Structure 1
């Protein structure tokens, strides 16, 4: 029995020593400085004891804040001042929008007095899906792809088929045969 248990212990030692990682063992023969640097970089001892360059934990921040803002009252005063500044900015933007809206309303009232037809045309709501009879007639003569492009375009929006301006010309050159889709009547 004792020889069996001794054999088991020796087998366990051999298996455990072969499975043990090389960086975890303290081997004096293996004093390669590159490995030590890599090991210390990948597996630091205790991160909380030193300031991390990535900003995960800095022990000096608390002291720096205490020097900059010594009391809770000072912190609250700074917070209130910041909120007051934001409120002044918000009110000035709102006042500017109200001024623009009043100016637009005054211009529309003047347009209504000068030319009621133009006023009604400016305030007319339009269904972007509705097509005029001329557009329907033109779309019947188009190919299917052109018809889909015409139906996809919402009236009053920037045309999708216009090329985005770039600093360099296209590789294909100028398309002299290109014609825009017919404009709505």
Structure 2
């Protein structure tokens, strides 16, 4: 990132120098008439040194503003309810897991201790191989001949 900024700064520095050289090379009264006729220098200056024009944000008034605010509030309310629903689901799952562990502790001490030990072996979801779009291990079969139909 820093090198990219350095390149842009260097390019900008040399561009400024060349513009100065171009604009100051000609001398005398005829130089102003040449610069007025040639808009390339002004275009280059405008492109390089002026900040780009940004579109103005449409200001809403009256009913449009009220509709926008209503939609925004409804969306925030929807996302809040979804977040709360997910949180309640996670809390129920945790409570169920906690109850199951309590029941297991009452039932069998050996199974409870086995459930509490973190396994060194990889469990199913992590172990499962996900389908990917990588090339096959065999590569291309150069000896393949298309079947002929008679």
Shorter-chain TM-score tier: 0.3 to 0.5
Structure having greater relative contact order (Cα 8 Å, sep ≥ 6):
1
- TM-score using structure 2 length: 0.45
- Structure with higher helix content: 2
